Amino acid sequence: MDSSFSKRGIKIIGATLLVYALLVAPHEGEFWPLSIYPMFSQAGNPWTRAMVLDVSSKSDADLWETQLLQNRDSDVVAVGDYGVDQIDFSNFIVKTREWTDSRRQALKDMFGPSSISEGRWMVSKVRGELIGRDSVSIEITPFILLTADSTFINPNLPASEYGGLTNEMD
Amino acid sequence: MKWTEKLGNQLFEPGRDQSPGEVVFFKLFELFVIFYTIKFAWEWGIYTELRNFEVVLPLGLAKYIDVSIFFENQLAIINASFITLLSIMSYLRLGYRWQYMVVMVLFHVQYVARFSQGEIPHSQNLIGMAVLCFAIGAIFFPDKKKMPRFVMGSIIFFIGLGYTSAFFAKLIGTGLSWNDGRHLWLWIGEKSIDILSREGEYAPNFLQLMALKSTFIASVILLIGWLTELIGFTMWFKKIRPFTTLMLIGMHIGITMTMNIRFDAFVMQLILVGFPWYILLDRYIKSTPDLLKRIV
């Protein structure tokens, strides 16, 4: 091997780099496995994730109350135990704009047909943000109640949160 | 000598003869890449079949083709089977020079079908980049001596570039205040919710507790990680490469401890490409095994 191999190698890397740039530029920095690695690039923004709380023993009056994380009074249902990827789950809850029949059904199906049984599970949105100079607030907002045969939306939230739906969902 | 030629010499080391240790290491490394390619292809394929039902976020080719067809008809499983077959054939150098490129395209499709649900993970990117470098190397440098050098050199180039690119993405996305420790508090909070959601419980470790107690400590943790990303490109230079690699591995351990994000295959690949393992192997292997000579 001689320096002509090096030169050709660099030329091919250069050409690959050009294709790399042409692919990631119109695709928001991501064309797997090509990436500009933008993760964590926008720091300090509030975030929203999702979790499921077992609210079987909660009274109907308290069911839809928003809580801070440190005041949580219900156990968390471990979605990993049901083979659900928690990040996919969060994205599904947070990014879905219209809660159509198929999406509500998909949410129930995610955990398997008999998982909820006689209980009541509250799918909740969890929002974190910086407050003042020195603290982070994490707030849990009940979003969709799952029972064995129905789904219910939070009556305290605006209809726009569910894509215009206001009534009980079956 | 132009700077591009100097860089080429650092990455490809054309003046060094191929040794038995280099051949053995190269085929072991290729086996590592093939193993993870097949592992990911099946994990993504099975998850896609069982869990995906609607495209939430179309990535890559999913913007142009409807990947929801992979959610049914066992197509994701069939794709995983093709990836497996073609990867093994490519490893054994059976078939065509462009075969690895087909593996790359099918692997990309498998990724965009699996990760069409909103998440954009990067922990499998290095394996994907390695497959791409094998594909380019197989097409342009099929020679038994040149292909290993090009593949390893180009992988090192793109790893270094990726880290430095991540530094600038943060600088552009947030500015010089990116390493404000309170940003780390927010991310620790976010990741703690992910773990709580997945496992039903969460307890912070000592590093997270230290960061949460002091803005200064949290800021220092972020600054060290950020500057380590900046120097990622120094992997291109062979004398500095092992030290840069050690710092990058340390940074990944830090990310795992502070943000609970694991990069197993990523770190293993860094360990493999960041150090001159052939020197160690050459101490024990004096001639290249005939089998490897045929499939290098």
Chain B CB contacts of A130 under 8 Å are: 182, 185-186
Q: Which of B10, B103, B105, B186 to mutate to test the interface with A (most CBs of A within 10 A)?
A: B186
Q: Do B56 and A30 touch (CB under 8 A)?
A: no
- Vertex B143: Cα angle to B157 and B241 (nearest 5): 25
Q: Do B185 and A130 touch (CB under 8 A)?
A: yes
Question: What is the spatial distance between Cα B208 and Cα B214, in angstroms, rounded to a whole number?
Answer: 10
What is the tens place of the pLDDT at every residue in B59-87?
999 999 999 999 988 999 999 999 999 99
Question: What is the spatial distance between Cα A125 and Cα A99, in angstroms, rounded to a whole number?
Answer: 15
Nearest to A76 among B51, B153, B196 (CB): B196
Q: What's the confidence (pLDDT) of residue B255? A: 93
Question: What is the spatial distance between Cα A170 and Cα B121, in angstroms, rounded to a whole number?
Answer: 34
Pick B34 or B266 by higher pLDDT: B34
Which chain A residue's Cα is nearest to B10? A6
Pick B56 or B201 by higher pLDDT: B201
Give phi and psi for A62, each to the nearest 5: -95, -5
Tell whether A105 is within 8 A of chain B (Cβ).
Answer: no
Q: Do B63 and A27 touch (CB under 8 A)?
A: yes
Neighbouring CB atoms inside 10 A of B16's CB total 12
Cross-strand bridge partners of residue A123: A52, A144
- Chain Cα centroid distance, residue B202: 28
Q: Are strands A47-54 and A121-131 parallel, antiparallel or unpaired?
A: antiparallel
Q: What's the confidence (pLDDT) of residue A170? A: 41
Q: Do A7 and B5 touch (CB under 8 A)?
A: yes
Q: Do B199 and A51 touch (CB under 8 A)?
A: no
Nearest to A80 among B120, B124, B199 (CB): B199
Chain B CB contacts of A72 under 8 Å are: none
Residues B201-216, mean pLDDT to the nearest whole number: 94
Q: What's the confidence (pLDDT) of residue A47? A: 95
Q: What's the confidence (pLDDT) of residue B17? A: 94
Nearest to A32 among B53, B57, B60 (CB): B60
Cross-strand bridge partners of residue A76: A53
Residues B11-18, mean pLDDT to the nearest whole number: 94
Q: Do B177 and A43 touch (CB under 8 A)?
A: yes
Tell whether the model's pLDDT for residue B230 goes beyond 60: yes
What is the tens place of the pLDDT at every residue in A124-163?
999 999 998 788 999 999 999 998 888 899 999 988 888 8
Q: What's the confidence (pLDDT) of residue B237? A: 97
pLDDT band at A165 (very low <50, low <70, confident <90, very high): low
Which chain A residue's Cα is nearest to B54? A103
Tell whether the model's pLDDT for residue A169 goes beyond 50: no
Nearest to B119 among A45, A91, A129 (CB): A91
Cross-strand bridge partners of residue A77: A52
Nearest to A40 among B12, B145, B170 (CB): B170
Q: Do B128 and A1 touch (CB under 8 A)?
A: no
Tell whether the model's pLDDT for residue B25 goes beyond 80: yes
What is the tens place of the pLDDT at every residue in A33-89?
999 998 899 999 999 999 999 999 998 889 999 999 999 999 999 999 988 889 989
By CB neighbour count within 10 A (0-12 exposed, 13-18 middle, 19+ buried), where does B68 fall?
middle
User: What's the whole-number average pLDDT of chain B?
Assistant: 94
Q: What's the confidence (pLDDT) of residue A141? A: 97
Nearest to A49 among B127, B173, B194 (CB): B194
Q: What's the confidence (pLDDT) of residue A115? A: 82
Q: Do A29 and B169 touch (CB under 8 A)?
A: yes
Tell whether A139 is within 8 A of chain B (Cβ).
Answer: no
Neighbouring CB atoms inside 10 A of A160's CB total 9
What is the tens place of the pLDDT at every residue in B126-145?
999 999 999 999 999 999 99
Q: Do A9 and B169 touch (CB under 8 A)?
A: no
Q: What's the confidence (pLDDT) of residue B251? A: 96
pLDDT band at B34 (very low <50, low <70, confident <90, very high): very high
Spatial neighbors of A99 by CB under 8 A, at least 6 apart, are A144, A153, A162, A163, A165, A169
Top mean pLDDT of A39-48, B152-161, B251-260 is at: B152-161
Q: Which of B197, B212, B219, B255 to mutate to test the interface with A (most CBs of A within 10 A)?
A: B197
Cross-strand bridge partners of residue A83: none
**Complex ipTM over 0.90:** yes
Q: Do A89 and B197 touch (CB under 8 A)?
A: yes
Question: What is the spatial distance between Cα A16 and Cα A29, in angstroms, rounded to a whole number?
Answer: 16
Smallest Cα distance from A38 to chain B, Å: 5
Q: Do A86 and B197 touch (CB under 8 A)?
A: yes
What is the tens place of the pLDDT at every residue in A97-133?
888 877 888 888 888 777 888 889 999 999 999 998 7
Tell whether A96 is within 8 A of chain B (Cβ).
Answer: yes
Nearest to A130 among B128, B186, B196 (CB): B186
Cross-strand bridge partners of residue A124: A51, A142
By CB neighbour count within 10 A (0-12 exposed, 13-18 middle, 19+ buried), where does B87 fall?
buried
Nearest to B128 among A12, A33, A130 (CB): A33
CA neighbor of B25 nearest in space, from B234, B262, B281, B198: B281
pLDDT band at B264 (very low <50, low <70, confident <90, very high): confident
Q: What's the confidence (pLDDT) of residue A166? A: 57
